[in-house]
Structure 1
């Protein structure tokens, strides 16, 4: 702001000028204050930004061509050709990208931005993802969040730390692996012998409720919770079935789980007396471009950009895989995960989508409401 030179004038005029200057300062600082909102991320590979790089695990994305379209053009541990869901949400809310909690770079003032605790391969249940050797299961993610809060308190003091944690935005992405890498894991899983799909879904919802209540106890007051996408339509499932059609069992499981999730979150909000939990309908968000890829500029929503075998849906994306030359023409990056372009379409609905996609409100509405409190 340019310096003001006050000439001889009355005290009342001086007060008016000072008030104008003060109001201008507030207006200048307002976007910075909004951008300072912390962001915390919990969940699986759809939102892991590199924590698994620091683990002994087979669930990792730390080799080319992962990251080919990231600003550094190098793999980062994100299961994407470029930016992932938390990165793009950070862009939209005017924040820096949050670092993985295990990153040695997450120190000092970087703690004020938030942290990503997600770990590829995990689920709602502790026995989900055991085939990946080491992963950070959800309650361990919460333990790390408590450790983060201790570090934050040491940096800024308890009152300011509590304010930052309570005022932050949270993202929770869980559930898909409990079906794909647990219940429907070939040739047979223990869970599928214990439960029918509807019974298993109810069990998941009961356990997910405990997880979300624990996150509330830890200070979360605004949490985006994503439902499962069209699990049966990812390239890995098309490759497995070989008939060019989405797997009906997995699609049916998602159709059972997602409405139960919405109902559970609504009941939780009623119990807590506030719209703490907001559902992102990932199924319909992805179904839009899966059912009509050309409408969104894709040439295919069946074949992955990176992979091998039918639909490039076999095995892992690695340096020996087939690789498409233009990632913007593909809805799926690898056998399971969307491209950055597809993820941007998802975030657009998270930001401004109708109640078909966001319940009870979208993120733009949340940001507007919270800026007034």
Structure 2
């Protein structure tokens, strides 16, 4: 692993958010994950979709040195949180090994390409929309109850930690996907953001109904500064202003919505905002503290004519922004692995899409 220490970064974040010391493996709580490619650890491998990470150079720094479906060179954010919790990473919900004792660890329901809205990521063809992720969570609980009993299953879910990462795709792969997109014709950006925030509130309220009582909700990171957007919209390395403004509108409204939702459920600490935009800013403009040399690079995004890339050395790139087997990874891998997904080194501080 590079000089940065993602485990320490995420561990410190969790200590602040959860107000507890790191648990032992025997006391590890269940961990559930919802969202997009930042947290997908392999569900899309089981789908006929173009949003895939099942070929090299993905996984080049994973313990097996093989692609796993994570949109990263190695570990992703849920893996690092699982390490902190003292547990094995939760399996993808679609994994055939999601049974028996593996149910006790939790489950990862995330799917690359999804957003808050159902029409986000339509170009990826077949992905697990957030409504279906919630349905899968409900189905998971039935399976868990059949294994350990209804009361024990209900308690395990209520004591679990939940991570949800959504929002970036609703800008990158919806509103700003193409000029004059349907959503941009329907809404001005200052009206679109409250709309998706209101839809996100419904998602989180449903999570609460399904038993989640400790939910980390990440904001969107500096989506205007990810390599794909730098390649498409920047000649001098400056961040895309429209996407930067979108993130600046989204994150404060998300935090206000979480405060409101906590008030409605009668507890101050059910939904916890993780300010990834602030940490993303630090990573972009003060990379040395994370052990990175130069994260702001158009090369990772490549040129307009070749699509979005996966490394600094001119890889072959799919138009969906995913890496292809002929891609050449950079060394050290202290910047993005894909056009918008972080390496295992940058995973904690950066949050973007798909």
TM-score above 0.5, yes or no: yes
State the shift of 1:105 in Å: 1.0
Choose which of 268, 281, 285 in structure 2 pairs with 1:287.
281
Asked if the contact 2:277–2:350 (Cα under 8 Å) also holds between the matched residues in 1, the reply is no
Question: What RMSD, in angstroms, separates the aligned Cα atoms of the two structures?
Answer: 1.8
Check whether the contact 1:65–1:81 (CA below 8 A) recurs between aligned residues: yes
SS of the equivalent of 1:63 reads coil
d(CA) in 2 for partners of 1:230 and 1:321? 25
Maintained 8 Å contact 2:231/2:298: no
Contact 1:98 1:116 in 2 (8 A): yes
Instruction: Select between 184-193 and 52-61 the one with higher mean Cα deviation.
Output: 184-193
Structure 2 residues not aligned, in runs of 5+: 1-22, 311-316
2:325 is equivalent to residue 319 of structure 1: yes
Contact 2:228/2:302 (8 A) holds in 1: no
CA distance in 2, matches of 1:80, 1:304: 18
CA–CA separation in structure 2 for the residues paired with 1:72 and 1:53: 17
TM-aligned CA deviation for residue 271 of structure 1: 1.3
Aligned CA distance change for structure 1 residues 219 and 147 (closer, same or farther; 3 Å):
same
What is aligned with 2:335? Answer: 331
Displacement of 1:312 after TM fit? 4.5
Larger helix percent: 1
1:209 matched residue in structure 2: 201
Q: Is the 8 A contact 1:293 1:331 kept in 2?
A: no
Counterpart of 1:262 in structure 2 is: 255
Q: In the alignment, which of 270, 275, 279 is matched to residue 276 of structure 1?
A: 270
**Structure 1 length as normaliser, TM-score?**
0.81
What is the CA-CA distance between 1:344 and the residue it aligns to? 4.3
Q: 1:245 to 1:305 in 2, by over 3 A?
A: closer
How many pairs align?
Answer: 315
What residue number does 1:16 align with? Answer: none
**Aligned equivalents of 1:233, 1:50: Cα separation in 2:** 26
Partner of 1:341, secondary structure, is coil
Cα distance change of structure 1 residues 101 and 286 upon mapping to structure 2, 3 Å threshold: same
Cα distance in 1 for residues equivalent to 2:221 and 2:336: 13
My pick for the range that moved more, 312-321 or 58-67, is 312-321
Within-5 A mapping of 1:235-246: 235-243=227-235, 244-246=237-239
Partner deviation per Cα, 1:8-45 (whole Å, 9 max, x = no partner): xxxxxxxxxxxxxxxxxxxxxx834432x100000000
Structure 1 gap ranges (5+) = 1-29, 348-373
From 84, 96, 100, the counterpart of 2:92? 100
Which structure's relative contact order is higher, taking Cα pairs within 8 Å and 6+ residues apart? 2
